[in-house]
A and B are shown apart, each in its own frame.
Chain A
Amino acid sequence: DGGITQSPKYLFRKEGQNVTLSCEQNLNHDAMYWYRQDPGQGLRLIYYSQIVNDFQKGDIAEGYSVSREKKESFPLTVTSAQKNPTAFYLCASSRGHGNTIYFGEGSWLTVV
């Protein structure tokens, strides 16, 4: 079945450590996105990529990094520079930038 797979579902990180969240899609979508969701807030865009080897900062990119070496993969690294990383992270993709986006199941990151 086509879809977007995020892993791991739950992740615990010690302060000062970097952690990478995986996002893979087999929908043949060109565009991919990372959003952060905090309680009582809507989704906020971290990074997006319209094509392979290209990505753009969203509204809250500080403390995060991404890569887009393959069309189907868009991993997100939460670095130690991110001040408050505990959150729910959603990966999404769309056929092209400007088309309807579809979401993965999300990853919970907790800093302990």
Chain B
Amino acid sequence: AQTVTQSQPEMSVQEAETVTLSCTYDTSENNYYLFWYKQPPSRQMILVIRQEAYKQQNATENRFSVNFQKAAKSFSLKISDSQLGDTAMYFCAFMITSGTYKYIFGTGTRLKVLA
């Protein structure tokens, strides 16, 4: 079975500090994409960052970066210089790039940025 595990249900961080959200996944496939989505209180899911599994270089998007460890099946998200607007639920997901192209989502980590 393909699964995504986010072991931290809730986290908090002081404004301007750095926080890392954990994600592990399980699949026997070799080709897939990994994603982090953000869901603020408005509930709209917003793509934060995407990583192709065949790329060794970790993806970055401004203050957001990932630590992708393929052998360990780990895909953590680092948020630098945290801002109040980063307060949200964060979902990790992966998609197999063959067959059904199905997305598998984790259960989310609720992040609160403190002023």
Contacts and interface: CB of A to CB of B under 8 A. Distances in A.
B91 A105 contact: no
A42 B42 CA distance: 17
A104 B101 CA distance: 20
A9 to B, nearest CB: 9
B44 interface: yes
Interface stretch (B63-71, B77-85, B103-111): B103-111
Point out which of A40, A43, A105 has the most chain B C-beta atoms below 10 A from its C-beta: A43
Interface stretch (A11-19, A21-29, A73-81, A94-102): A94-102
B50 A98 contact: no
Contacts of B101: 97-98
A90 interface: yes
A16 to B, nearest CB: 27
Interface residues of A, number: 18
A99 to B, nearest CB: 8
A88 interface: yes
B114 interface: no
B55 interface: no
Nearest to A41: B107
Contacts of A55: none
B47 A42 contact: no
A98 B97 contact: yes
Nearest to B46: A103
A102 B47 contact: yes
A98 B95 contact: yes
Contact of A42 (B46, B50, B102, B107): B107
Top 10 A-B residue pairs of the complex, sorted by shortest distance between their CB atoms: A42-B105, A103-B45, A98-B101, A105-B44, A43-B105, A106-B43, A42-B107, A97-B101, A42-B106, A41-B107
Interface of B: 4, 33, 35, 37, 42-47, 50, 91, 93, 95, 97, 101-108
16 contacts: A40-B107, A42-B93, A42-B105, A42-B106, A42-B107, A43-B103, A43-B105, A44-B105, A100-B33, A100-B35, A101-B103, A102-B47, A103-B37, A104-B44, A106-B43, A106-B44
